[in-house]
Amino acid sequence: MVKEMEKRHSGLIRFFHWINMISITTLILTGFYIHAPLSFKVCSNMDNARMLHFAMAYILCFGLLGRVYYAIATGDWKNIWFDFKTDPKKFPSMTKYYLFMADDHPYYGKYNPGQKMMYTGWLFLGIIQVITGFILYKPQVLFWSQMGDYLGGDVAIRVVHLIVTWLFVLSVLAHVYLDISEGVPVLKSMFTGKIPADFHHGYHEEDA
């Protein structure tokens, strides 16, 4: 018997997800090589690493702008934007579930508060990386040179760029864990766009 499926992710959501995933992963790997080429040998030489790094930076800019525009145009921002008034109250029940202290959790909507916090955070982290990245990439351009001086100079910019890179690494690992913990159908839906109609997303508190 074929399971009834329902739509979870549109084609554009999946497109931007994979574009951003590929660009962020490549930026992280090439970035670590550029930072420490002798201890993180993922590229054959620095020229290739820098060229790939900067190409992916432009692709990430496209992916971020496209995803933000789509979220605003379709109202999807309500699913991914962290609500500082209501979402923090949901963390105790979410934390209990993911620490195996509870067998179930309330229905949070399409995404739980942890995921929404990461998605909102990624937007700001992405903006920081783009700004600091262009300051390091185009120091000869007056605008970026002045901004770099205003933000503390090359050393400070490099430190911020590296710290944000590690925040991306840790948050991406947490993102994958949260998705897997919700169930394989949630993970598969980013490939297929669909999820079983009878998939359990959590109990409704008003019915508990």
- Quote the domain boundaries for residue 122: 5-199
Q: What is the CATH number of the domain that holds 177?
A: 1.20.950.20
Task: List Cα–Cα distances, 57 to 60, 66, 177, in angstroms.
Answer: 5, 14, 26
Whether the predicted pLDDT of 184 surpasses 90? no
Tokens of 132: 């600091």
Number of domains in the chain: 1
Determine the Cα angle at 61 with ends 16 and 74, to 5°: 45
Please, what's the largest Cα pairwise distance for the chain? 65
What is the structure's pLDDT at 166?
95
Q: How confident is the model over 34-77, as pLDDT tens digits?
A: 988 988 888 889 999 999 999 999 999 999 999 999 999 999 99
Name the band, by pLDDT with cuts 50, 70 and 90, for residue 205: low
Whether the predicted pLDDT of 2 surpasses 70? no
Q: DSSP class of residue 193?
A: S
Judge whether 63 lies within some domain.
yes
Judge whether 124 lies within some domain.
yes
What is the structure's pLDDT at 28?
94
Judge whether 207 lies within some domain.
no
Judge whether 204 lies within some domain.
no
Judge whether 108 lies within some domain.
yes
- Round to whole Å and give the CA distance between 84 and 128: 21
Q: DSSP class of residue 202?
A: -
**What's the pTM?**
0.85
Judge whether 143 lies within some domain.
yes
Judge whether 206 lies within some domain.
no
Judge whether 80 lies within some domain.
yes
